[in-house]
Amino acid sequence: MINKAKKFFFLLSFLIFVFVTVRYYFSEKNIIITNKLRSLYAISENRDIKSLPLLKNDTNDIIVYTNDLEEFKRKSKKRIWEKLISNNDE
């Protein structure tokens, strides 16, 4: 009997919690406050973006292309099965 009463109390308290939370979340007061905060954040974000300095692009010709694969192939030791598979005469 006490076990059932405890389970009923826990279930009832959970349902009350969910009901109060949902009621507050969908209330007009909360929706108005949320919209005000979002608009204030958007305004401050735009102001911060406009105050950022524009940096000069200095990334021209920074990639150096090397031929490491050809050097590796040239330095690697040739094996018998590679000669059998290859199409060209080496």
**pLDDT recorded at residue 89:** 54
- pLDDT tens, residue by residue, 15-68: 999 999 999 999 999 999 999 999 999 999 988 888 889 888 888 878 887 778
How much is the pLDDT for 4? 93
The residue type found at 28 is E
pLDDT digits (tens, 9 = 90+) for 60-83: 878 887 778 888 877 777 777 777
6 CB-side CA count, 13 A: 3
Does pLDDT of 88 surpass 70? no
Question: What's the CA gap between 71 and 7, in Å, rounded?
Answer: 75
